[in-house]
């Protein structure tokens, strides 16, 4: 048992305190996504997590308003970007990782199992020229890998289920849990995408909930139940206590609940658009001979998906 010392009438375990980074979130109402800047106040160094490249599926227009707002925050706060991190290849928005790398020079990273997602979707898209080796990113993180944001220790939890490649970034006392958990009033993420699994998602959620109760959890989406204002921060303790998909639920019940709900959900409207971009680290297709870029997506490829 760790000895406990008393200093100024407060118990001290002898363990150093966990660093508390500054976390700034930016909500994108078009995709209900939250993108983050996590920074070390001591060194003014930061990482960008899950940035959004704006896309309007009706007009085909792209823009960098979200990414430029992130860059403005970085500049206004005198920060230096060390990492551009994606938690998984997103199915509901384009990643701005490539754009932000061009603006900052910071390396891009994602989970190492992105190669499994690339191989799966390479076949769905009939895309033989897609390199399915993860070479589109500067760093592929495996489970347990460690890195730093400034002076703050960070590590990676492999947390699949929503996708084959999903990871959680734990930076000090902050965990970026992507599409595993939502806010406690919203439950958990779907697990019916190609390569998804409710059983695997349950295991990933349990790993996240094994972090200390005070760990701050930052989610990937908020769909504003009841029309409330967007929220994106909870804690491990709050999720255990209040999330109806977790509190008092065992694995069997969770799988049944998740699968029943997923059968009613239409696919994200941008899934076939976004993955073409996000499997390449946020790179848009190369211009064709007329100078325009084109997306290609298959018809009837997602058999059994609910109609939206």
Closest of 141, 150, 209 to residue 175, by C-alpha: 209
Task: Classify residue 3: in a domain, yes or no.
Answer: no
126-146: average pLDDT: 97
| Number of separate domains in the chain | 1
CATH code of 252's domain: 3.60.15.10
Residue 14 has pLDDT above 60, yes or no: no
Per residue in 52-61, pLDDT tens? 999 999 999 9
Does a structural domain hold residue 36?
Answer: yes
Strand partners, 233: 218
Taking 50 as the threshold, does the pLDDT of residue 306 lie above it?
yes
The pLDDT of residue 236 is 98
Q: Which domain holds residue 50?
A: 21-278
| Residue 290 reports pLDDT greater than 90 | yes
Give residue 240's pLDDT: 98
pTM: 0.93
Q: Indicate whether 273 pLDDT > 70.
A: yes
Whether residue 302 is contained in a domain is answered as no
Contact between 167 and 176 (Cβ < 8 Å) = no
Bridge partners, 94 (sequence order): 53
φ, ψ for residue 185, nearest 5 deg: -85, 5
Question: Residue 38: pLDDT above 60?
Answer: yes
Q: Is residue 44 part of a domain?
A: yes
Per residue in 155-205, pLDDT (tens digit) is: 999 999 999 999 999 999 999 999 999 999 999 999 999 999 999 999 999
Degrees, nearest 5: CA angle 83-63-193: 70
Quick one: average pLDDT of 105-113? 98
Other CB atoms within 10 A of residue 265 CB: 12
Q: At residue 15, does pLDDT exceed 90? A: no
Q: How confident is the model at residue 10 (pLDDT cuts 50, 70, 90)?
A: very low
In a domain, 68, yes or no: yes
Q: Residues 227-246: what's their mean pLDDT?
A: 97
Q: Is residue 47 in a domain?
A: yes
Question: Which three-class secondary structure string do you get for the chain?
Answer: CCCCEEECCEEECCCCCCCCCEEEEEEECCCCEEEEEEEECCCCEEEEECCEEEEECCCCEEECHHHHHHHHHHHHCCCEEEEEECCCCCCCCEECHHHHHHHHCCCEEEECCHHHHHHHHHHHCCCCCCCCCCCCCCEEECCCCEEEECCEEEEEEECCCCCCCCEEEEECCEEEEECCECCCCCCECCCCCCCCCHHHHHHHHHHHHCCCCCCEEEECECCCHHHCCCCCEEEHHHHHHHCCCCCCCCHHHHHHHHHHHHCCCECCCCHHHHHHHHCCCCCCCCCCCCCCCCCCCCCCCCCCCECC
Decide if 118 is inside a domain: yes
- 3-state SS record for 67-121: HHHHHHHHHHCCCEEEEEECCCCCCCCEECHHHHHHHHCCCEEEECCHHHHHHHH
> If you average pLDDT over residues 105-116, what whole number do you get?
98
Q: Give me the phi and psi of 218, to 5 degrees please.
A: -115, 120
Query: Any idea which of 11-15, 58-62, 73-77 has the lowest mean pLDDT?
Result: 11-15
Question: Can you give the pLDDT at residue 307?
Answer: 80
Q: Has residue 13 been placed in a domain?
A: no
The tokens of 143 are what?
């489970």
pLDDT digits (tens, 9 = 90+) for 141-158: 999 999 999 999 999 999
Average pLDDT over residues 259-267: 95
* Average pLDDT, integer, range 249-270: 96
104: pLDDT strictly greater than 70: yes
Segment 5-24 shows an average pLDDT of 66
Please state, rounded to an integer, the average pLDDT across all residues of the chain. 94
């Amino acid at each position: 048992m760790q000895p406990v010392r008393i200093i100024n009438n407060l118990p001290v375990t002898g363990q150093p305190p966990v660093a508390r980074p500054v976390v700034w979130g930016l909500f994108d109402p078009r995709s209900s996504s939250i993108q983050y800047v996590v920074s070390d106040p001591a060194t003014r160094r930061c990482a960008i997590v899950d940035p959004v490249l704006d896309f309007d599926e009706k007009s085909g227009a792209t823009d960098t308003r979200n990414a430029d707002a992130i860059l403005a925050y970085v500049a206004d706060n005198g920060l230096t970007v060390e990492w551009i991190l994606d938690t998984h290849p997103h199915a509901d928005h384009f990643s701005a990782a490539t754009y932000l790398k061009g603006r900052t020079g910071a390396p891009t990273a994602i989970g190492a199992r992105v190669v499994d997602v690339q191989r799966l979707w390479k076949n769905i898209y009939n895309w033989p020229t897609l390199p399915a080796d993860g070479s589109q990113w500067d760093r592929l993180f495996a489970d347990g890998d460690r890195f730093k944001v400034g002076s703050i220790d960070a590590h990676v939890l492999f947390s699949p289920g929503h996708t084959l490649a999903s990871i959680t970034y734990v930076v000090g006392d902050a965990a970026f849990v992507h599409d595993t958990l939502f806010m406690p009033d919203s439950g958990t993420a779907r697990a019916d995408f190609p390569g998804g699994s409710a059983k695997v998602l349950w295991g990933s959620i349990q790993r996240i909930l094994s972090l200390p109760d005070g760990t701050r959890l930052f989610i990937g989406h908020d769909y504003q139940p009841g029309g409330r204002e967007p929220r994106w921060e909870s804690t491990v303790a709050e999720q255990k206590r209040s999330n109806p998909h977790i509190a008092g639920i065992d694995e069997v019940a969770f799988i049944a609940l998740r699968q029943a709900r997923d059968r009613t959900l239409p696919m994200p409207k941008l899934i076939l658009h976004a993955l073409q971009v996000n499997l390449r680290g946020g790179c848009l297709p190369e211009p064709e001979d007329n100078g325009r870029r084109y997306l290609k997506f298959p018809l009837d490829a997602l058999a059994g998906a609910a109609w939206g």
